Amino acid sequence: MKKDEHHLLLVWLILVSLIGFALFISLREKVLLLLYMGDNSKLSWVITLLFVIITIYCARRVWFISREINISEKVIALARERELSIRNGAIYADNTEQIPDCMMTRYLLDLYYQATSHAGDAQADNNQNQTGNQELIQVFEAKLKNPHNLGWFFSDIMIKLGLLGTIIGFVLMLGSVVNVTDFDVTTMQNILKQMSSGMGTALYTTFAGLVCSILTAAQFHLLDQAADELVDSTKHLTQVHILPRL
């Protein structure tokens, strides 16, 4: 079933809207205030800042991949229905209409240049073309998906920062009883207060790290899925409609 134009962007906006709604409820119920005020390590602020930065980066990638998918659908339609030719470093349909520029178009250009550069024995050309096609599609896939590694890196960093906050919280909690020699009522009250503060730091940072990491991973999972679909479409177009003509 054909997806709507900018399907990826629409799905991502729905996800971000749900996140925004959850933040609104959290603010209204003062959950975020409790989170940030109860974290003495302030790592929750760092995790939140990282989440905002990587979400902005994800928005740019979503727009880019969504645009590439839309243009590639036009390229696929032209490649299926019309004869393609290369002139002045560009691909034309029936020598009249220039194919829209996108990553798929540049991949097809490389494919044509590779095919024309191997002239000679037919069997040797076939083997070289198959190897070259595999390498080109790997390069194409890497260009699409390698920028997403930053998102997965940030997701991992958020979890580790949450665990670091957990350790800091336990250190603060246990540090409150290290030098205690007199266990009167006032001292015990102070100890329990400090232990509660340390436990709060441990739990709040872990919570912030896990939630932000999960939300980041969800966004970049959408991106990876869209990139895989674009790569699969490119492979299908190449094998069925382009290579038989070369």
Mean of pLDDT values over 154-171: 93
Q: What percent of the chain has pLDDT over 90?
A: 45
Over 60: is that where the pLDDT of 124 sits? no
- Tell whether the model's pLDDT for residue 71 goes beyond 70: yes
Query: Could you give the CA distance from residue 97 to residue 88 in angstroms, rounded to a whole number?
Result: 13
**C-alpha span between 61 and 220 (Å, rounded):** 9
Higher pLDDT, 121 or 164: 164
- State the SS3 of 114-175: HHHHCCCCHHHHHHHHHHHHHHHHHHHHHHHHHHHHHHHHHHHHHHHHHHHHHHHHHHHHHH
pLDDT band at residue 131 using 50, 70 and 90 as cut-offs: low
Report which of 131, 129, 123, 91 is spatially closest to residue 109, judged by C-alpha positions. 91
* Mean pLDDT of the 214-221 span: 96
pLDDT reported for residue 169:
87
24 and 15 Cβ atoms separated by less than 8 Å: no
Instruction: Quote the radius of gyration of the chain (alpha carbons, Å).
Output: 27
Work out the pLDDT band at 150, boundaries 50, 70, 90: very high
- Mean pLDDT value across the chain: 85
pLDDT level of residue 46 (50, 70, 90 thresholds): very high
Burial of 124 (0-12, 13-18, 19+ CB in 10 A): exposed
Comparing 1-5, 120-124, 170-174, 214-218, the range with the smallest average pLDDT is: 120-124
Res 243: pLDDT: 76
H or E element: which one contains 98? strand 97-98
User: Phi, psi at residue 87, to the nearest 5°?
Assistant: -150, 125
- The mean per-residue pLDDT over the stretch 210-233 comes to 95
Could you report the per-residue pLDDT of 178-201, keeping only the tens digit for each?
666 666 667 667 767 777 778 888
Q: 3-state DSSP call for residue 86?
A: strand
- Sort residue 39 into left (φ over 0), alpha (ψ -120 to 50) or beta: beta
Tens of pLDDT, residues 87-122: 888 888 888 888 888 899 989 888 888 777 655 545
Pairwise CA distance, residues 171 & 115, whole Å: 64
Q: Place 205 in a pLDDT band, splitting at 50, 70 and 90.
A: very high
| 84: Cα within 13 Å, side-chain hemisphere | 26
Distances (CA, A) of 114 to 83, 87, 106, 202, 239: 18, 15, 12, 57, 15
Q: Report, as an integer, the average pLDDT of 50-78.
A: 94
Q: Determine the pLDDT at residue 90.
A: 85
